[in-house]
Amino acid sequence: MRRQSFGWILGLIVLGSGVYATAETPTLWGIPVSEYAQRREQLSQTLESDQIAILASETSPPTRMRFRQDNNFMYLTGLEAMNGVLVILPQDSPLEERVVLFLPRQSRVSRLFEGPLPEPNDQTRRETGIDDIRERGELREFLADALKLHPRVLVNRPARTLLADAIREANPEAQVASIDRLMAPMRVVKSPAEVALIRKAVAASIAGHRALAQRLAPGVYEYELEGAAQEAFRRHGSEREGYPMIIGSGSNACILHYNANKRQVRAGELVLVDIGAEYSYYTADITRTYPASGKFTPRQRELYIAVLDAMKYAEKEAKPGITLGQLHQKVVEFFRNHKLRAKDENGNEQTLDRFFVHGLSHMMGMDVHDLDPNQPLRPGMVFTIEPGLYIPSEGIGIRIEDDYLVTERGVENLSRALPREPDAVERMVRGGKPARR
């Protein structure tokens, strides 16, 4: 497991559209340590007098899985710690502490199996900016006092399971609820540092798409395309995939969350590729639909253009103040009024909206489907636009997806460097190879 990245930004740094750091700014995972402190302070100010926030880190993963920290714990600490607990109290708490981090002392066996991990010491205090770091064994005694004063307990997912007994022991009357309601408004608007990490995730994802398109040809297997994208992700600094890759050829393109990725690609088919690299805990999410033989058939092309036109329409309509639900309805109407038709499973001709079967957009950040999708767009939010048409009777599934940053006047397409016009997509797949029927 990789030790958390701790470095220094030297000189004046400009990320995205804003200056956010000056000389000798300590960072964790590319985020200034001061920003983590601001997040903890904001959460403390949001808590009501009788509330307490308890967030547990992830534990050591099963043998066949790589460690990945819980997003809310990472958002507030920047630590890839195992078995840690972060406690945040409201500003008006009678207790002296506001932020306390509990970490285990690492045993010789743990160090042998897992490498060095954050411990309750001065190094971790310097790296995180958290002054009050205690040994994990002191948690129960601390909760015994804190939960008498703050019986409404807000927890993240790991804490709900791992600390249930400790919370009940400290206060059998404690009311436990999810902390997501408070974390969502904090995480949904991205800082310049967060946007910079998302841009890097997007760049790695685009590299994955390009590598996959160059590998694409009739006869290859979906898993070969997956491997090409994975290698490109790693070469561009990505630690992992943001979600399981969707590489659906032929009729598999009509399965929205298909990820078996084991079928052999045939000539003349479309291949729907929905992939996203994760970079320092922030993910991208980009979809393209490629002609396996390097050229769209006339029917494939006209449907592809319909999807692309819907996407461009949504881009123009997206601006601060609109909700993702409202944007979705506009695209439903666009497809309903489109001149093209297709037949359903019973052979009946239908308007195109009948074949647009999923939501148009979702928020994006530390989770590929990030928190709080229902509020109006505001500058700093990052979201997707992904119209699609799925026509099983024709074996055609088409989706195009890009990632967008909300600005003061509209949106910026973060993934615009990846071709999506049909001629450019064909050229990317052919890459010097002749088109095959």
pLDDT digits (tens, 9 = 90+) for 97-139: 999 999 999 888 888 888 898 999 999 999 999 999 999 999 9
| Residues 215 and 148 reside in one and the same domain | no
Residue 6: band (very low, low, confident or very high) from pLDDT cuts 50, 70, 90: very low
Task: Report yes or no on 436 lying in a domain.
Answer: no
The number of distinct structural domains making up the chain is 2
What integer best gives the mean pLDDT of the chain?
A: 93
| Residues 182 and 247 reside in one and the same domain | no
| Residues 143 and 195 reside in one and the same domain | no
| Residues 164 and 204 reside in one and the same domain | no
Q: Is pLDDT of 21 > 80?
A: no
Domain stops at, among 158, 186, 214: 186
Q: Which residues form the domain of 27?
A: 6-186
Looking at residues 156-171, what average pLDDT do you find? 93
Looking at residues 76-90, what average pLDDT do you find? 97
Give the integer Cα–Cα distance in Å for 146 and 151: 8
Q: What is the pLDDT, as a whole number, of residue 395?
A: 97
Task: Report yes or no on 1 lying in a domain.
Answer: no
Beta-carbon contacts of 228 under 8 Å, excluding residues fewer than 6 positions away, are 208, 211, 212, 214, 215
Element (H, E) at 40: helix 33-46
Domain stops at, among 142, 159, 186: 186
Relative to beta strand 25-28, strand 18-21 is unpaired
| Residues 43 and 105 reside in one and the same domain | yes
Looking at residues 192-201, what average pLDDT do you find? 99
| Residues 116 and 232 reside in one and the same domain | no
Domain stops at, among 141, 159, 186: 186
| Residues 317 and 423 reside in one and the same domain | yes
Angle at 125 between CA 95 and CA 123, to 5 degrees: 155
Q: Is the pTM of this model over 0.85?
A: yes
| Residues 41 and 110 reside in one and the same domain | yes
| Residues 121 and 227 reside in one and the same domain | no
Looking at residues 402-409, what average pLDDT do you find? 98
* 355 phi/psi in degrees, rounded to 5: -110, 5
Task: Report yes or no on 437 lying in a domain.
Answer: no
Q: What is the pLDDT, as a whole number, of residue 350?
A: 98
Q: What is the pLDDT, as a whole number, of residue 437?
A: 54
| Residues 161 and 300 reside in one and the same domain | no
